[in-house]
Homo-oligomer: A and B are copies of this chain.
Amino acid sequence: MKRIMLRVAYDGTAYNGWQIQPGGTTIEGELNKALSDLLEEEIAVIGASRTDAGVHALCNVAVFDTDTRIAPERIAPALNARLTEDIRIQESREVASDFHPRKCPTRKTYEYRIYTGKYENPIGRQYAHFVYVPLDEEKMQKAAEYLVGEHDFKSFCVAKAQVLTTVRTVYAVQVKREGSYLTIRVSGSGFLFNMVRIIAGTLIEVGRGSMEPEQVKAILEAKDRQAAGPTAPARGLTLISLEFCEKRD
């Protein structure tokens, strides 16, 4: 028995998110099907980030245990031959048998992309949210600074989410313009349900002048979802990196 880790890239457009659920095609479900078919065992992967419906990933991580005699690095190409082209395994390798991608310290980075032209750009529309009002990225960056550090992010979380704590650590938030695109890059140890999309929605409110950067401090203090901006659409969001840190003793 060995534990295999997969690095998985996907275009989330056609999927009902990562996690298996009744009545929807999911990334996890497609991986389980392709793996069980390939390895002729019943496989159920454990994912690192359970991304929402419509959210993309360059490098989500999944692990599973198998008795297969196929060499670990050969699993990636064999799986790719069984998956549709919107899911692509980037790497497969053996990891320690106790490695659990949700139970070890990680640094996750998401990118939220906004297209700011006068009219939408059809090319790449699946990977960006279109905002036609001008956005002030300096104000957005100023607002973003209030989010850095350890905070209770209850205001930036779906109200009904069932979690033990809404305290999270955000390492960095960067707002960057490249041509007509504006990118919000957020790194943290972990994120609450819809947290990055609510951060994006709130920074867009600041960028368009409906909110002052300083208000973000009060939003955090309110610990109330109603205080923050709207949840920005899923299509703009991509999990771009996932690093596993050394285990602390």
Residues of A at the B interface (CB closer than 8 Å) are 9-11, 56, 58, 76-77, 80, 85-90, 117-127, 238
Contact = CB atoms under 8 A, between A and B. Distances in A.
B124 A9 contact: no
Chain A at the B interface: mostly helix, strand, loop or mixed?
Answer: mixed
Given A9-B121, A11-B122, A76-B119, 4 more contacts: A56-B122, A88-B122, A90-B117, A124-B124
B123 A80 contact: no
B119 A86 contact: no
B10 A119 contact: no
Nearest to A9: B122
A122 B87 contact: yes
Nearest to A58: B123
A92 to B, nearest CB: 10
A85 B9 contact: no
A121 B124 CA distance: 14
B119 A58 contact: no
A120 to B, nearest CB: 5
Contacts of A89: 119
Contacts of A9: 119, 121-123
Given A90-B117, A117-B90, A122 B77 contact: no
A117 B7 CA distance: 14
A221 B203 CA distance: 58
A124 B86 CA distance: 10
15 contacts: A9-B123, A10-B122, A11-B123, A56-B122, A58-B123, A77-B119, A80-B119, A80-B120, A85-B122, A87-B122, A88-B121, A88-B122, A89-B119, A90-B117, A123-B127
Given A117-B90, A118-B90, A56 B10 contact: no
A193 to B, nearest CB: 22
Contacts of A125: 11, 85-86
A118 B125 CA distance: 25
Contacts of A118: 90
A56 B122 CA distance: 9
Contacts of A10: 122-123
Contacts of A86: 122, 125
Contacts of A238: 123
Contacts of A77: 119
Contact of A119 (B88, B119, B121): B88
